[in-house]
């Protein structure tokens, strides 16, 4: 079927896609690397005719930058907390869903619901749930009108209310709120993938195990988890990739302040750092940070693949 007419035609079909990709995908790869290795590159100065010398100064500067280190730390902490929690919860829910008949469809629908939400909008709902209305600056004589529904629930069970996200709140409290929100957001995709995996496991394995009289826990550990391991590896890898790119969920809860009122930027992430650098026209710094982010994602993904190669049964 290969003839010259076809060759020519294929490129016509591909032309629009290639044109857009060349400008907005291929060129950026080269240009971003170029800007990262030009000392203190600034787009604004470049248009005014400034030239920049070649060097790794941007990388050194970014890594020495206190705010970048704090962004890196936040990103890492959120990743390390949310990926295991959401994966384990999703696994339990998926296994539970797979074992029941009545109510399965409706529960499955409910668990998928957070996927089709706007992370800024629902972030605002979470903020409302954790917010102490009336606390502005944490001073003594403020009139706190309502402690927020989460604190109401805590008080109902006899606990003391926590300053989750307001002025003067603790870093750990902020991270706890973010973890809850990110896990809530991450569950649907993971449940969908894991449930799909569970439903494709051959029932004969379970029948054989039952004949042998294996216990539930043994069946779970020896059959379900190993046969599900490709899916588990997949949700963990995509979870980490998504986790390293965390940004809008924090904007949803804390606004563009990226932190409580008294400590703006406290919860900023790697992606946030990149956009902050970009908005101050420091493209060199932004590019270096983006390449570092890419490097981290690559290393973590390869690490995951290496571990799963040893553990995953295909």
Partner 1 sequence: MNDVKMETMSEKDMRRVAIRQAIVKGLVKFGVYAFLIIMALIVLFPFYWMINSSLKTLDEYRMSVPTFWPHKVMISNYASAYKTANLGKLFVNTVIVGVVSTILSLVITVLSAFAFARLEFKGKDMLFAGLLATMMIPGELFTITNYGTVTQLGWTNTYTVLIVPFLVSVFYIYLLRQNFLQIPNELYLAAKVDGTSDLKYLWRVMIPLALPTLISITILKMMGAWNSYIWPRLVANDAAHRLITNGLRNAFTETTGDVNYPVQMAAVALVSLPLFLVFVFLRKYIMQGVSRSGTKG
Question: For partner 1, what does the binding mask look like between residues 279 and 308, x meaning CB under 8 A?
Answer: x---x--xx--xx-xx--xx--x-------
Q: Does the footprint of partner 1 cover residue 27 (CB under 8 A)? A: yes
211 binds partner 1 (CB under 8 A): no
Contacting residue, 50, 63, 110, 299, with partner 1 by CB under 8 A:
110
Instruction: Yes or no: say if 258 and 171 are a contact pair by the CB < 8 Å rule.
Output: no
189 touches partner 1 (CB under 8 A): yes
Nearer to partner 1, 55 or 168 (CB): 168
- Shortest Å distance, C-beta 126 to partner 1: 6
Q: Which residues of 234-255 are buried (b: 16+ CB within 10 A; e: fewer)?
A: bbbbbbbebbbebbebbbbbbe
Closest Cα to residue 114, out of 195, 182, 179, 197?
182
**Residue of the chain from 96, 159, 218, 306 that contacts partner 1 (CB under 8 A):** 96
Closest CA to 234 of 268, 192, 181, 274: 192
Stretch that binds partner 1, among 60-68, 78-86, 188-196, 202-210 (CB under 8 A): 188-196
Min CB(137)–partner 1 separation in Å: 9
Smallest gap from Cβ 74 to partner 1, in A, equals 16
- Residue 247 in contact with partner 1, rule: CB under 8 A: yes
- Beta carbon of residue 226, minimum distance to partner 1 (angstroms, whole number): 18
From 57-65, 80-88, 123-131, 204-212, span contacting partner 1 (CB under 8 A): 123-131
Q: Is 20 in the site for partner 1 (CB under 8 A)?
A: yes
Taking the complex as a whole, the smallest distance from the CB of residue 205 to partner 1 amounts, in Å, to 19
263, 175 contact by CB (below 8 A): no
d(CA 195, CA 205): 17
Q: Which is nearer to partner 1, 205 or 275 (CB)?
A: 275
28 binds partner 1, rule: CB under 8 A: yes
For residue 14, state whether it binds partner 1 (rule: CB under 8 A): yes
Number of residues in contact with partner 1, rule: CB under 8 A? Answer: 109
Does residue 54 sit in helix, strand or coil? Answer: strand
Q: Which stretch binds partner 1 (CB under 8 A): 16-24, 56-64, 66-74, 221-229?
A: 16-24
Q: Are 184 and 87 in contact (CB under 8 A)?
A: no
CB of 129 to partner 1, least distance (A): 6
Burial of 51 per CB tally in 10 Å (0-12, 13-18, 19+) = exposed
H helix intervals, the chain: 4-21, 27-36, 43-47, 57-64, 66-99, 104-112, 119-130, 149-156, 171-199, 203-211, 216-219, 225-244, 248-254, 270-279, 283-311
Taking CB under 8 A as the binding criterion, the range among 59-67, 70-78, 90-98, 206-214 that sits at the site for partner 1 is: 90-98
Evaluate whether 313 touches 226 at the Cβ level (below 8 Å).
yes
Least spacing, CB of residue 73 vs partner 1, in Å: 18
Strand, helix or coil at 45? helix
Residue 171 binding partner 1, by CB under 8 A: no
Cα Rg of the chain (Å, integer): 25
């Amino acid at each position: 079927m290969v003839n010259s007419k076809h060759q020519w035609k294929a490129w016509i079909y591909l032309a629009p896609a290639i044109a857009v990709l060349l400008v907005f995908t291929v060129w950026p790869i080269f240009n971003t690397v170029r800007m990262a290795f030009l000392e203190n590159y600034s787009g604004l100065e470049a248009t005014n005719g400034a030239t920049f010398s070649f060097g790794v100064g941007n990388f050194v500067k970014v890594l020495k930058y206190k705010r970048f280190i704090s962004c890196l730390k936040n990103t890492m902490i959120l990743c390390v907390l949310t990926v295991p929690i959401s994966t384990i919860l999703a696994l339990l829910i998926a296994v539970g869903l797979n074992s029941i008949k009545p109510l399965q469809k409706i529960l499955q629908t409910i668990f998928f619901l957070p996927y089709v939400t706007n992370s800024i909008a629902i972030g605002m709902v979470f903020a409302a749930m954790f917010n102490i209305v009336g606390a502005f600056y944490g001073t003594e004589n403020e009139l706190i009108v309502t402690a927020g529904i989460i604190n109401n629930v805590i008080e109902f069970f006899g606990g003391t209310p926590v300053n989750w996200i307001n002025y003067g709140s603790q870093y750990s409290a902020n991270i706890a709120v973010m973890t809850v929100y990110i896990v809530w957001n991450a569950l649907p995709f993971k449940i969908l993938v894991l449930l799909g995996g569970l439903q494709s496991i051959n029932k004969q394995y379970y029948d054989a195990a039952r004949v042998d009289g294996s216990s539930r826990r043994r069946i779970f550990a020896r059959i379900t988890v190993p046969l599900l391991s490709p899916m588990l590896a997949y949700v963990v890898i995509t979870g980490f990739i998504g986790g390293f790119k965390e940004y809008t969920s924090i904007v949803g809860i804390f606004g563009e302040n990226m932190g409580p009122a008294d400590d703006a930027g406290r919860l900023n992430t790697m992606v946030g750092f990149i956009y902050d650098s970009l908005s101050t026209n420091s493209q060199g710094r932004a590019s270096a940070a983006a390449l570092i982010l890419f490097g981290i994602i690559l290393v973590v993904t390869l690490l995951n693949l290496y571990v799963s190669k040893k553990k995953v049964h295909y």
